[in-house]
């Protein structure tokens, strides 16, 4: 199912991010030209944030995460001519970023500008105990390739270890629970969050929130309710200031038909219903959003989500998606402030640096090359 075919046939998996090591291009103080009008519910200053290109020459950039030393990590799904990879960007908050590939050769699958590979990325720990966690989309059952669906870890020495195959587990789980959605079995683990003692995965195909335990076993914590027309499609998970989990959804087809339909659910991981994840208590924390492709919390306590597109005429103007990042105050989730006025292309992952700058993967699909940009003075 593909996004480009819009309503009648719509993808549930927008997971792309790769770069060939000889194609990574850190950009020194290069500014994108803001265009369009600011669309914001919350009043903001008259000046839009500066948009600086940090790295370009990327192929389907997806998840972003900061690690020790303020190093920014980027997941790339790849495309028809480039395998997937993970890159690190040092000095990302300066005018002289330095990028290099640390994992390459990851498989990717797709066509027509939309590819799936390594998607979510998260960093846990400091120093020698730090590790990068990354999730591959889809499943072995759906692709015939055992790498898809894998959760893997990269330690501080650069060694890679496969932890478990979340996609394989979820494909089987959805087959056993096919009454929940008409297109089951399905799986597309998309977002990952590693926090002390826990690893969580949002599966955009299974519509679940999962936890991967220390022994590699997987359990489903929550199933997210279907929308009016289609399923929820959870794409990301972030831990809030209250230690609860906040899960953003794509709600793609419903957005095409009804307007902004994406949601953010709050789930208390201590209150889940393991016997019936569809009965896990959850709160609708924010709604009326454009399709969410990535999310995180900043040091100011605000929730940030990348909006895949915000163009209300996307069905007739697909080449101008007007991607954006929305900021939602933790104390008032009804306030939605859009940070770029729809300046971006199709937006992917999002991360917030310790100094409060917002970073977003821009051109995550349907463009020849993507990039990572920094939003300053938001």
DSSP letter at 256?
Answer: H
Tokens for 135, please give them: 């999730």
Tokens for 367, please give them: 């463009």
Q: Would 292 be classed as within a structural domain?
A: yes
Q: Would 341 be classed as within a structural domain?
A: yes
Contacts of 159 (CB under 8 A, 6+ apart): none
pTM above 0.85, yes or no: yes
Q: Would 93 be classed as within a structural domain?
A: no
Q: Is 111 helix (H, G, I), strand (E, B) or coil?
A: strand
Rounded Cα gap, residues 189 and 163, in angstroms = 14
The tens-digit pLDDT sequence of the chain (378 residues) is 344 443 333 333 333 222 223 334 344 333 333 233 223 345 444 456 789 999 999 999 999 999 999 999 999 999 999 999 999 999 999 989 999 999 999 999 998 889 999 999 999 998 888 999 999 999 999 999 999 999 999 998 889 999 999 999 999 999 999 999 999 999 999 999 999 999 999 999 999 999 999 999 999 999 999 999 999 999 999 999 999 999 999 999 999 999 999 999 999 999 999 999 999 999 999 999 999 999 999 999 999 999 999 999 998 999 999 999 999 999 999 999 999 999 999 999 999 999 999 999 999 999 889 999 999 765
| Domain with 166 in it | 27-54+115-376
DSSP letter at 346?
Answer: S
pLDDT of residue 46: 45
Q: Using CB atoms within 10 Å of the CB of residue 7, give its burial: 0 to 12 exposed, 13 to 18 middle, 19+ buried.
A: middle
Angle (nearest 5°) at CA 135 between 131 and 136: 140
**CATH code, 261:** 2.120.10.30
Domain count, the chain: 1
Rounded Cα gap, residues 46 and 20, in angstroms = 39
Nearest one of 373, 375, 361 to 77, comparing CA atoms? 361
Q: Would 82 be classed as within a structural domain?
A: no
Q: Would 173 be classed as within a structural domain?
A: yes
Give the sheet arrangement for strand 283-289, strand by strand. 234-239, 245-249, 262-267, 283-289
Q: Are 95 and 102 in contact (CB under 8 A)?
A: no
Rounded Cα gap, residues 282 and 280, in angstroms = 6
Backbone angles phi, psi at 250, to 5 degrees: -90, -45
Q: Would 102 be classed as within a structural domain?
A: no
Q: Would 191 be classed as within a structural domain?
A: yes
Rounded Cα gap, residues 31 and 37, in angstroms = 18
Q: Are 208 and 187 in contact (CB under 8 A)?
A: no
- Other C-beta atoms closer than 10 Å to the C-beta of 276 total 11
Rounded Cα gap, residues 233 and 188, in angstroms = 9
Nearest one of 205, 212, 314 to 259, comparing CA atoms? 314
Q: Would 18 be classed as within a structural domain?
A: no
Q: Tokens 């959760």 appear where? A: 151
């Amino acid at each position: 199912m593909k996004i480009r075919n819009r309503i009648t046939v719509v993808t549930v998996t927008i997971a792309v991010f790769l770069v060939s090591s000889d194609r990574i291009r850190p950009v020194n103080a290069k500014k994108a030209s803001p265009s369009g009008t600011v669309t914001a519910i919350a009043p903001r200053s008259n000046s839009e944030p500066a948009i600086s290109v940090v790295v370009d020459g990327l192929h389907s950039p997806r998840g972003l995460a900061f690690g020790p030393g303020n190093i920014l990590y980027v997941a790339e799904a790849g495309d028809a001519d480039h395998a997937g990879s993970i890159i690190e960007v040092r000095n990302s908050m300066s005018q002289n970023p330095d990028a290099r590939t640390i994992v390459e050769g990851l498989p990717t699958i797709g066509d027509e500008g939309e590819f799936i590979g390594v998607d979510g990325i998260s960093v846990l720990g400091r120093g020698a105990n730090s590790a990068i966690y990354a999730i591959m989309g889809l499943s072995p059952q759906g692709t015939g390739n055992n790498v898809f669906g894998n959760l893997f870890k990269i330690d501080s020495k650069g060694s890679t270890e496969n932890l478990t195959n979340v996609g394989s587990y979820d494909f089987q789980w959805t087959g056993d629970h096919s009454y929940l959605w008409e297109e089951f079995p399905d799986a597309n683990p998309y977002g990952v969050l590693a926090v002390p003692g826990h690893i969580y995965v949002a599966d955009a195909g299974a519509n679940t929130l999962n936890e991967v335990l220390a022994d590699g076993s997987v359990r489903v914590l929550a199933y997210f309710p279907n929308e009016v027309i289609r399923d929820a499609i959870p794409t990301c998970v972030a831990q809030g200031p209250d230690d609860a989990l906040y899960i953003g959804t794509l709600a793609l087809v419903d957005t095409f038909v009804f307007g902004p339909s994406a949601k953010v659910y709050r789930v208390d991981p201590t209150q889940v219903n393991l016997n019936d994840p569809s009965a896990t208590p959850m709160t609708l924390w924010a709604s009326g959003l454009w399709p969410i492709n990535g999310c995180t919390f900043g040091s100011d306590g605000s929730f940030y989500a990348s909006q895949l597109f915000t163009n209300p005429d996307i069905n007739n103007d697909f080449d101008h998606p007007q991607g954006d990042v929305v900021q939602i105050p933790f104390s008032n989730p009804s306030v939605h402030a859009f940070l770029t006025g729809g300046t971006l292309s199709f937006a992917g992952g999002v991360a917030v640096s310790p100094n409060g700058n917002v970073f977003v993967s821009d051109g995550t699909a349907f463009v020849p090359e993507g990039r990572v940009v920094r939003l300053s003075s938001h």
